[in-house]
Each structure stands twice: as structure tokens, then as C-alpha cells.
Copies of this chain bind each other. A is one copy, B any other.
Amino acid sequence: MEVDKHLPKIIASQIVTDIINNVLESGEKVIEERYANSFGTSRGPVREALYILENEGMIERIPKRGSFVKKYNRQDLCDLFEVRGSLENMSLSRLKYPLQEDQVNEIDQIISDMATANMEVYAQLNNDFHYKVLSLSGNEVYKNIFSRLGTPLITLQKLVLETPESVKQSYEEHKMLWKAIKVGKINLAKAVLEDHIESGKRRFYEAVEKNKK
């Protein structure tokens, strides 16, 4: 990971961490001055961080009221899955073969890392995988939109991937998808992707039901 000296981004990343770890709860107000104090800065950079996070879909800013941790309901999260999948599906139509070797190697590495990753790491690798696959098409617009959808999904992947079995199943799906892409079977890849999205949604619903109890 590269170190980013841009202060607002550092603060933004800390806020995301706090959201993931439930230091900040869903719907909670994020008070500028508190983060300013905890970083020993003024409110300016915190403000900018909040704008960045609004862009990433983690924060909802209401003028003169404040910034709140964005609440997603079940439907919202399924929609995020769905839109992300749809973008990825479209990007598959754009692939140019042969694929670039370095990009292939990167994704190979992600798949390989997935095999032994714990839940937290897996959630991040999962996001990386989908981002890299989308990036294969070289499409800037898709990449841009994707990166705006990804962050909320990472935070919820932890919930979805509750059991080792669901991680295992997700892993197998990724391996299958990647194989289909590598050998250029686009239509197969699209079908696998569609299945992957469906089972992702299903796992998500199951996890939510479980958490209710």
C-alpha cells in the first residue's frame, strides 16, 4: 500500500475504518470537530474527507444539519450488488484478447491470495478482484462508477461472508469466473457472473436473517 500524504484522504480512510469497526454506527452523525481534534488538525481537512466519503457512498451530507453514516437497507445492498454486476457484465463485452499479461498476473495473484485469506482480507480481495476484472476492459467510466459503489459493499461483505463455508463457496465462484474469462469464453463468464451475483444476494439475505435472531 502506498502512503498518501494528502491529509483529507488519510482522515477519510480512518472514518471508513471506524465505520467498518462500528466505532461509528449506521446513521450516526459524524462531528467534524471530533475528528479534527483526534487528528490534531482543523475542521477544514475533515470537511473535505466527508465530501470524499459522500462520493464513495459512505456518508450522507445534509447542508447545515451535518454528515451521517449512510444507512443501507437490504434492498439497497442487493441493488449495489446488482449494479456492480451489471457494470462488470458490460465490461466483459469489451475485453480485448489476448489480455495484458501483467493484469492477468495481478488477478491470478488475487485468486491465489483468496485461498488462504481470513474474512476481513477476503472482503478486500473480493473487491480488488471485481475491480481488476472490470479494469481489464480499460474503461475509465466503468472504473469510476465502480469505485463509487465498492466501498459500501466492502463494509458489508464481512456480514455476508460470515461462515468459512460461504467464503469457500465464494472463492470457488471467483475461480470459475476468472477461468472462463482467461480462456475467452465470454458468454460462459457472463453466465457464471450472473450466478455469482445471485448467490451473493442469497448469502446476504441469509446472513441478515441470521443476524435478526
Contact = CB atoms under 8 A, between A and B. Distances in A.
Contact of A79 (B82, B86, B139): B139
A6 B76 contact: no
A57 interface: yes
A21 to B, nearest CB: 24
A84 B9 CA distance: 29
Nearest to A9: B63
Nearest to A149: B145
Contacts of A6: 63-64
Nearest to A63: B6
A140 B52 CA distance: 20
A55 B144 CA distance: 10
Nearest to A140: B76
A8 to B, nearest CB: 8
Interface of A: 6, 9, 47-48, 51-52, 54-55, 57, 63-64, 75-76, 79-80, 82-83, 86-87, 90, 139-142, 144-145, 148-149
When A and B form their complex, which 4 residue pairs have the shortest distance between CB atoms, in order from nearest? A51-B51, A79-B141, A6-B63, A55-B55
